[in-house]
Amino acid sequence: MTEMMWDVVIVGAGPIGGRCASLLSERGHSVLLLEEHSEIGRPFQCAGLVNPRAMKSVSLEDTILQEIDGALIHGPSGTLVPVGESNNPRTFVVCRKRFDQGVVQQSLEAGAHIWLNSMPIDASADDDGVSLTVNNDGEIVDLKCKLLLGCDGAQSWTRRYFKMGKPKELMIGFQAEVVGYQNDNRWLEMYSGSKVAPGFFAWVIPSGFGTHRIGIWSTAEHLQGRSVEQCYHDLLNHPLWQERFSAVKETARYCGPIPCGMVKNPVKNRVMLVGDAAGMAKPTTGGGIGPGFKQIEMIIDDLSSAISSDKLSKKDLRKITSKRWNEMKRVQDKARALRDLLVSNCTDDELDEHFENFSKPEVLELINTIGDIEKPVPLGMALLKKVPAFRKLAVKAGVKLLFT
Ligand SMILES: Cc1cc2nc3c(=O)[nH]c(=O)nc-3n(C[C@H](O)[C@H](O)[C@H](O)COP(=O)(O)OP(=O)(O)OC[C@H]3O[C@@H](n4cnc5c(N)ncnc54)[C@H](O)[C@@H]3O)c2cc1C
């Protein structure tokens, strides 16, 4: 093998590219990561929530800034629904820069190579492999590989170049890092209502050392001409909550897309998309790190065998991915349908009514017993089936949602 022939070239050294590189290198494959920036983990657009399962995969506990016990969820008129239990961490807030660097460092320790300031400019795939032309820090280099992995995020070059479809939804996320917000540092807060986060929610997440991340996500359709930044200002000045934001001072702000809904063709001949590139973020929370890790971990042994035997046609890759990724897609679709029903397609009055019902002791108990931010479908289904007030919604949702 010459230096320019690789088993796998991965476009994008974000958390998902780094994780793929580790898993493949650990299995003895030669892996090259291409990263367009000169540094890993910058710029980032993320609230930094990493679920316990994803954290366990990479054991990067030293990047945790804050453990989170639960969420205080506010209805449009102020009804509060607390979900969680004190001193029983449900998720973690990490320093995204150190987290991404940690994931990529693990891959380098496992044997992967990385080119910074590098991006593909041309590619073609045939039965012999993938031919790739790369701009490597100003120098044009030709490479060959058996498999090209597109882990290049929401606006994936790989996805566009190989015409692999579009994520079902592209949310707009906005976030500011602040000091001066007053709350309990082990609970995150979520705010709802058409003024502050039409169709979705705004968040305030403690990120350690007295800092917080205030963010909002929504879609162009729900925003109807407003910007997410306007929603952010409306949240800070909302009559119900402005007091707690009054001493807030910003230290940074950023905006980015969140792709939710697996693309139609996540694999083609010798090409595969993983993570945000494939549209894996969760329609209920926007979290993309956990689903991206899961997407690659569930196929890695079969993929490794296919690379070893160079069986990487579209048909081969579909055989490896179809069953497992279709199941992920099915759960993602169901979560979106439940989200639309209970939150996104509701007026503020309807949302207020839902919050009144959520806050009833027996419903809260159900939420706290079954509720798992990572697996919202069982809770959504239980609410529709067991809470009388939500049964009429179940009828509205119809058989398709409930029984597919
Ligand atoms: C405001 C906001 C808050 C969020 N909060 C959370 C959260 O709390 N928890 C969570 O799990 N998720 C969150 N997400 C989503 C999360 O950031 C993504 O799901 C996650 O980063 C996806 O990882 P990835 O590796 O697939 O893509 P990315 O992190 O986008 O990494 C892609 C990498 O590829 C590189 N790249 C792109 N194009 C090229 C190219 N052509 N050539 C070479 N390199 C390239 C990029 O520079 C980058 O390093 C949030 C998103 C936003 C916008």
| Ligand 1 and 11: CB distance under 6 A | yes
For residue 274, the ligand 1 atom closest to its alpha carbon is 26
Euclidean distance between the first and the last CA atom of the chain, given in angstroms as a whole number: 48
Tell me, what's the pLDDT at 228?
A: 94
Q: Is ligand 1 within 6 A of the CB of residue 84?
A: no
Distance CA 197, CA 294 (A): 29
Is the CB of 37 within 6 Å of ligand 1?
A: yes
The 3-state DSSP class for residue 218 equals strand
Measuring from atom 38 of ligand 1, which residue has the nearest CA?
152
Q: Is the dihedral of CA 55, 56, 58, 60 positive or negative?
A: positive
Assigned token pair, 319? 């055989």
Taking CA atoms only, the protein residue closest to ligand 1 atom 31 is 14
Q: Which amino acid is present at 393?
A: L
Query: What is the best residue among 32, 39, 40, 46 to mutate for testing ligand 1's pocket, by most ligand atoms within 8 Å of CB?
Result: 46
Q: Ligand 1: does its nearest atom lie under 6 Å from the Cβ of 256? A: yes
Q: Is 157 in the pocket of ligand 1 (CB under 6 A)?
A: yes
Is 16's C-beta closer than 6 angstroms to any atom of ligand 1? yes
Instruction: Show the beta-strand stretches assigned E in 63-185.
Output: 64-68, 70-74, 80-84, 91-94, 113-115, 118-126, 129-136, 139-150, 169-179
Q: Which residues contact 53 (CB under 8 A, 6 or more apart)?
A: 290, 293, 294, 374
**What is the structure's pLDDT at 404?**
46
User: Environment class of residue 350 by beta-carbon count within 10 Å: exposed (0-12), middle (13-18) or buried (19+)?
Assistant: middle
pLDDT, position 149: 98
User: How far from the centroid of its chain's Cα atoms is residue 394's Cα?
Assistant: 27
Measured CA to CA, the distance from residue 129 to residue 390 in angstroms comes to 53
Q: In this structure, are strands 169-179 and 211-218 parallel, antiparallel, or unpaired?
A: antiparallel
**What domains are there in the chain, each with its CATH number?**
5-46+97-167+264-312 (3.50.50.60), 64-94+169-259 (3.30.9.10), 334-403 (no CATH)
* pLDDT attached to residue 389: 80
Indicate if ligand 1 lies below 6 Å from the C-beta of 104. no
> What is the pLDDT, as a whole number, of residue 185?
83
Model confidence, pTM? 0.95
Query: Residue with structure tokens 């439940």?
Result: 338
Q: How far apart are CA 281 and CA 260, in angstroms?
A: 5
Query: What atom in ligand 1 is closest to the CA of residue 154?
Result: 30
Q: Is the CB of 215 under 6 A from ligand 1?
A: yes
Decide whether any atom of ligand 1 lies within 6 Å of the 18 Cβ. no
Give distance in angstroms: CA of 17 to centre of ligand 1: 10
State which amino acid sits at residue 115. W
Per-residue confidence in pLDDT tens, the chain, 404 aa: 445 799 999 999 999 999 999 999 999 999 999 999 999 998 877 899 999 999 999 999 999 999 999 999 999 999 999 888 898 899 999 999 999 999 999 999 999 999 999 999 999 999 999 999 999 999 999 999 999 999 999 999 999 999 999 999 999 999 999 999 988 789 999 999 999 999 999 999 999 989 999 999 999 999 999 999 999 999 999 999 999 999 999 999 999 999 999 999 999 999 999 999 999 999 999 999 999 999 999 999 999 999 999 999 999 999 999 999 999 999 999 889 889 988 999 999 999 999 998 888 888 888 888 777 667 777 777 888 888 888 777 766 654 554 44
Looking at residue 373, its pLDDT comes to 64
Integer Cα distance of 21 and 114 in angstroms: 10
Q: Give the pLDDT confidence score for residue 342 in this predicted structure.
A: 87
Best probe residue, ligand 1, of 50, 152, 162 (max atoms within 8 Å of C-beta): 152
